[in-house]
């Protein structure tokens, strides 16, 4: 076609004669054949149905290795990806394997968000934790999230001051809940914060005052301590310990013999380890790791945590997420540069997802 147009210009044809057109026909057909021959074939990148190119995410922070064992969990050069930002205070991530997506709380906004690869972030549930159940509620929503053994979503609801179960499937969310526990000996909880499910289905949870107005000075507080509790499968609530100033994140070792509890008290920022007895109660606890000496490493306190199948703890702390061996050795830090609230793995342990102040982040895990 280009040859045909060029010929017209060269010959200055404005009103071509029959003779002129005969001279140009070979060029015209040659141009048509050339266009057909040069037409690009559809490719994977311009055919949405075949597009397998991964999303390119912005990154933040760095991986700080303190021990060679760190390489067993994070490959050298791994980047911390930013999946979303602009939240008020992101918390409580949980992976939903049946749908291939992540849920996480924005506590002050009374909202649970959903993130899925290729779809981004959308509102999943609102209200999430202050539903009008309490007359003098702080208005804060859900914090820690977890699935029970039947795949039901469990929520620590700050505003409603309870552990609740969403009575619809995770893929069909509605703000309809069943109360699993909301008091101890007739006194309302402060604000259940984080939870872990034991092998028998019992729910272990922490109850600091963070969801109460004015926190520990709140006139709404009915308990004079901040406890770690257990609610069994029959709904019986028992106190496991009332000796921690600000209990926060909670998780079990892979064999359920140890329960780890984070203390987010700036004057005593430690990770506690409690042996779990046959009846589900706690034995004498001990400090697994004290984060006070590394407070200069960055913002944050021991908050949420998860335990890798190897037994290594991935715990929030100064600087981001700390990797702590079962013996209490600090292997390194996923330095998010943010006060990091919590984290969770996906079902295949391919990624660690992190809620860090205004961000939702992830980093690939060696698996």
Domains of the chain: 2-36 (no CATH), 62-364 (2.120.10.30)
Q: Which residues pair with 241 in a beta bridge?
A: 228
Q: Average pLDDT in the 297-303 region?
A: 96
pLDDT grade, residue 139 (50/70/90)? confident
| pLDDT tens digits along 223-257 | 999 999 999 999 999 999 999 999 999 999 999 99
Alpha-carbon separation of residue 331 from 129, 250, 260 (angstroms) = 36, 20, 17
> Dihedral through CA 354, CA 355, CA 356, CA 358, nearest 10?
140
pLDDT of residue 2: 32
pTM, two decimals, is 0.84
Task: Copy the structure tokens of residue 356.
Answer: 């860090």
For residues 146 and 167, give the distance between their C-alpha atoms in angstroms, rounded to a whole number: 14
């Amino acid at each position: 076609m280009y040859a045909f147009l060029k010929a017209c210009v060269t010959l200055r044809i404005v009103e071509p004669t029959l003779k002129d057109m005969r001279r140009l026909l070979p060029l015209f057909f040659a141009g048509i054949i050339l266009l057909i021959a040069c037409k690009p074939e559809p490719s994977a990148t311009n055919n949405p149905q075949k597009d397998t190119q991964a999303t390119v995410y912005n990154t933040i922070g760095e991986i700080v290795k303190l021990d060679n064992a760190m390489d067993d969990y994070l490959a050298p050069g791994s980047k911390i990806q930013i999946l979303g930002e602009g939240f008020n205070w992101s918390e409580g991530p949980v992976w939903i394997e049946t749908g291939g997506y992540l849920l996480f709380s924005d506590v002050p906004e009374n909202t649970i968000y959903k993130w899925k690869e290729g779809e981004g972030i959308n509102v999943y549930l609102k209200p999430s934790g202050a539903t009008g159940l309490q007359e003098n509620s702080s208005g804060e929503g859900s914090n820690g999230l977890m699935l029970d053994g039947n795949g039901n979503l469990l929520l620590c609801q700050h505003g409603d001051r309870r552990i609740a179960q969403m009575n619809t499937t995770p893929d069909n969310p509605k703000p309809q809940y069943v109360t699993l526990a909301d008091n101890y000996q007739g006194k309302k909880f402060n604000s259940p914060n984080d939870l872990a499910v034991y092998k028998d289905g019992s729910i272990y949870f922490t109850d600091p005052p963070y969801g109460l107005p004015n926190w520990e000075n709140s006139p709404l507080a009915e308990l004079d301590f901040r406890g770690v509790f257990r609610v069994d499968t029959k709904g019986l609530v028992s106190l496991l310990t009332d000796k921690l100033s600000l209990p926060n994140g909670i998780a079990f070792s892979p064999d359920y013999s140890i329960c780890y509890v984070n203390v987010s008290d700036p004057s005593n920022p430690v990770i506690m380890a409690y042996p779990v007895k046959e009846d589900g109660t706690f034995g004498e606890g001990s400090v697994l790791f004290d984060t006070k000496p590394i407070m200069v490493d960055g913002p944050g306190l021991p908050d949420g945590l998860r335990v890798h199948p190897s037994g290594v703890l991935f715990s929030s702390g100064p600087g981001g997420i700390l990797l702590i061996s079962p013996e209490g050795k600090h292997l390194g830090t996923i330095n998010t540069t943010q006060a990091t609230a919590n984290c969770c793995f996906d079902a295949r342990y391919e990624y660690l997802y992190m809620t860090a102040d205004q961000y939702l982040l992830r980093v690939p895990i060696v698996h």
